[in-house]
Chain A
Amino acid sequence: MNSQWQATAKAWSEFWFVPRDPSLISSIRVGAGLMAILHFVTLLYDGSNWLGPIGWLNVDAGRFLIGDEVDGTGSIYRWSLLYWYPNCVSWIAGIGILASAATVAGIGSRLSPFAVWFCMCTFHHRAPLITMLHEPMLVALMAYLSIDPGRTQWTLRPGFSSGKARISVNIAQQLIVCHFWIWIAFSLFSMLANSLWWNGEAGWLLMQQARGWVQLTDGWQSLGQLLTHLVIATQAASLFCMTQANFHWLGRWMVYGFLAAVLLLLADWMYAAVLLVASFAHWPIPIPNQKSIPN
């Protein structure tokens, strides 16, 4: 029994507490930063229309929807500045763009992804019920990148500008690995709890209503049903392949297949792109001359 526990503890330590080269987390930081720039640009363009003083969801409606002053809703922990300063939507979106650009450029070390996380949370806490699919994963990436953003420049900590392997890089990267796995798992479980994904109607309905990039007429119902089953299959296969080093190559293609389904059925390219960036933590991006990173 002791040897089993020792082996488990050793594997745990090797998973979390081994120094790791910051190349991959730096690539994830750049990808997530670019997505954050696009996210804040849409908020700069449309945020006031939604959350401003006369937006679709004004402060009064927003406070009601978070269960303000109702016991057990946790509304006291919603700290968005937009409840007190609803005119500042564009300002916060602008700061978010600057922080995201700094994150992409690697300026400011941990501070930049933390500032992006703060700006995103400000919007989420203001209207948590109208967050988009890509937002929970993007805000999680920024939180993990705040632990270690990889190689950065113009920082007060010289260690961050070097390519030196660090334990904090490994912890940040493995948190992304775990979070991505949990996300795909619950995406799959939530679909399996819905009969529309069992009888093939989900994909068909989405395609019939042209929610994604393709619209099908009644004669193509079988294709819609086939895509529904493929969405489930690619997620299940991805989950398995992510845990098996020998199947990583296949898992990568399964995730790509799932992302293609996101585009075909939902046309949510932001969601697909954020998931793609998060999936890099599992399998390094195939860039020529990149150091091989153990997983």
Chain B
Amino acid sequence: MSSGSRHGFRIDTRVLVIPLASVSKTIPEKRSSQSPQIQWRWNLLISILLIMHLFSIGLTYATNWQRSAIEDRALVWLQPYLIGTNWYQEMMPIEWISENYRPGSFQLSIQHANATDQWVPILGVTSTNSMRAKFDRLLHVLSELARGEDYQGMTRVLKSIVLHLEKSRPANAPQISKIRLEKIAASSSIGDSEEVLYEATLARFPSGEFGFVPKIENHRSVRAIETHGVKP
């Protein structure tokens, strides 16, 4: 019995495939090699795969800005297909500008050991047009980590950035001593304000390794956050 019968009508599932068979009869290249019976079975199978594929695409795009629990479960179930074949997209910049992240409104700056009161922007306003899109994406990632207070994650990404900067700087250039992610006022007309989202001092070890010691609020009276085993 079809599922529709309980609602007062009955669906004859054969009608779904009969037209497929009738169309397949008009296909010259297939007529000689396959019987209509086999052809409509192939068409039915391909139709199911096409529907599942397009459904998965719609799901992965739809879940980029809001998702329900059932969508989340469906995504996890579809991960082998969606991620394995690279249809899954996270934080897709499809909307060009979002309420959480406005391009140009975040900036990553560093402070050198010999200039303790001067912040040098490395990502953000200084980026050239051709590089800006990729830097914007990296800043978006950092801003999401800061917003989620994922300081361990921040540390791992910032460590990669600092390593890159240190390896690509001239040999006699001063070392980086501090790093800071800040939200800058993109437009005063919509009430943007400036805010430091994350700031840390680099603690260097004799081995050459380094860790981040996040700046803590002045009023804080409990133990400071420990990062990578470094105690402030």
Contacts and interface: CB of A to CB of B under 8 A. Distances in A.
Interface size class of B (residues with CB under 8 A): 35 or more
A141 B18 CA distance: 32
A1 B9 contact: yes
Contacts of B160: 55-58, 60-61
A6 B90 contact: no
Given A2-B12, A209-B103, A13 B95 contact: no
A55 B162 CA distance: 10
B209 interface: no
B157 A61 contact: yes
Interface in A103-134: 117, 120-121, 124-125, 128-133
Contact of B66 (A139, A166, A193, A211): A193
B204 interface: no
Interface in B23-55: 23-24, 26-30, 43, 46-47, 50, 53-54
Interface in A209-261: 209, 211, 218, 221
Interface string B71-100: 000001001101111111111111111110
A77 B153 CA distance: 21
Contact of A56 (B12, B95, B164): B164
A2 B132 CA distance: 57
A139 B103 contact: no
Contacts of A197: 95
A129 to B, nearest CB: 5
B138 A9 contact: no
B58 A182 contact: yes
B19 A13 contact: yes
Contacts of A19: 27-29
B166 to A, nearest CB: 9
Interface stretch (A94-102, A171-179, A282-290): A171-179
A266 interface: yes
Interface residues of A, number: 77
Contacts of B80: 74, 77
B220 interface: no
A18 interface: yes
Nearest to B80: A77
Contacts of B76: 72, 74
Interface string B209-228: 00000000000000000000
Give the top 3 A-B pairs by smallest Cβ distance, nearest first: A61-B160, A74-B79, A190-B95
A10 B96 contact: no
Contacts of B200: none
B159 A61 contact: yes
Interface majority SS (helix, strand, loop, mixed), chain A: helix
Contacts of A182: 54, 57-58, 61
A35 interface: no
A201 to B, nearest CB: 6
B6 interface: no
Contacts of A166: 29
B85 A143 contact: yes
B19 A10 contact: yes
B64 A190 contact: yes
In this complex, the member of B43, B97, B141, B160 whose beta carbon has the largest number of chain A beta carbons within 10 angstroms is: B97
A69 interface: no
Nearest to B10: A1
Contacts of B86: 117, 120-121, 124-125, 139, 143
A78 to B, nearest CB: 7
Contacts of B156: 60-61, 64
A130 B20 contact: no
Contacts of A60: 156, 159-160
10 contacts: A10-B22, A54-B164, A55-B164, A74-B88, A129-B141, A130-B141, A133-B93, A191-B96, A208-B187, A211-B132
A64 to B, nearest CB: 5
A205 B186 contact: yes
Given A58-B163, A74-B76, A201-B190, A129 B17 contact: no
Interface in A166-210: 166-167, 171, 175, 178-179, 182-183, 186-187, 189-191, 193-197, 201-202, 205-206, 208-209
Given A9-B19, A13-B23, A130 B129 contact: no
A16 B90 contact: no
Contact of B153 (A12, A64, A194): A64
B99 A5 contact: no
Nearest to A123: B86
B62 A17 contact: no
Given A57-B157, A143-B85, A182-B61, A211 B103 contact: yes
